[in-house]
Chain A
Amino acid sequence: MEAAPQRIALPTRETPPPGTPISVRLRTRLRRYAPPLIFALLVLGIWQLYCTVSSIPESSLPAPTEIFSALITDRALLAENAWVTIQEIVIGYLAAIILGVGLAVLICSSKMIERAVYPWLVVSQMVPIVAIAPIIVIWTGFDLRPKIIVIALVSFFPIAVNTIDGLKATDPEMTNLLKTFGAKRWARFKTAQFPAALPFIFSGLRIGAALSVIGAVFAEWVGSSEGLGYLILTFNNQTSTTEMFAAVIVLAFIGLALFAFVGLLQRLTIPWYEDARVDDADGHEGSS
């Protein structure tokens, strides 16, 4: 059967259908989570071994065990600063979503606006944020605002571009069908164009989530007195490499958590998309 144009090719996740026995579910889980865990353990083992035998100074490369104990010892400091960064990321990311989706809808609303705005959208990504971040700090101060602006600027772009692609992917015949039902433009947008764009939007949201974490660190480097980015910079200056690594790990977990949350949101918002992909995968197995 012909695949719907909404389905973009993504690797199929091995999700067992409901009603699968627990043992099979467990095995599927194991197959999904075991490889990254084993790989991580392997890398950590080699790392630990290298630090022990090579007598490399801790300030150059701390051993995993040392980093782990720093995570425990400095947990209060890390948690306090992580909370600051989490707030920045959440607000900045939400701003990026509003900006990205809003611009995309605006651009897709008329050819004229698209011609006027789209090139500048691309140009905005050519401007090195490094160059303008200090100016943003001068404009808005050292509080939360410049961080939100920098995060939004860094992560709105993939959201906007993916949303534009999604909004343009509507089957013209679908538009015709809705017209024959007497549907006006807004009704067509609401019932066909926007839902069809959702898988694309979620792709953009996932990329944007990863970028927002980088954006937060960067914004803190430019002007801040708290947050994980600030902490990383300070530890670096003090050559407290072990503590710096501990802060990086906390940051990585925040990024992973945000990424996973967006994935969860996707499964809740567009369950039909996942199901259609599983069905497709079944079809391929059957035909091969």
Chain B
Amino acid sequence: MARMKFLCDADRCIECNACVTACKNEHEVPWGINRRRVITLNDGKPGERSVSMACMHCTEAPCAAVCPTSCFLPTEDGIVLHSKDLCIGCGYCFYACPFGAPQYPRVGNFGTRGKMDKCTYCAGGAGPEPTGSMEEYVKYGSNRLAEGKLPLCAEMCSTKSLLAGDGEMIARIYKERVVTRGYGSGAWGWKTAYREDVSA
């Protein structure tokens, strides 16, 4: 059984934001919601580095732990899905998430945030909507995984900085890279998300 993960090879990320754009386009994500984003550390200074970040689909996900309505559903593939029917928009998952992945359609006062939205690993939602249906698409975006495709952000990454797929496989690809080129800054977020490190 595959354990799906994301791996951002930060030495390759050129901050083109194509992953962000592809994600927004693929899922018709509304304004103000960014399931994936590229963050530049030390911008404009020596030591600058960009990292593409989205939901990491953590092992024993903190969002699922703190949710007061238990709306999260970790799948057999290790993907953390959630149900917008059960979400009450309390915002707790955002406080617990180490990566700032949960997004809310409204920045409403009095805590009215709307239903939480986050990266689904292009695998739809945990609600009752049939896989690949229009209802599922409207709520969670396209279900590429059901079509045998990987998340679009990683698929179309121009420098292949962002990798998606089975954890062991993408870790092997990354290790080969590190050996070949002689350096690597590690898999960002892996220690926090999966409690493991990728070093060559």
* Genuine A/B complex: no
Interface residues of A (CB under 8 A from B): none
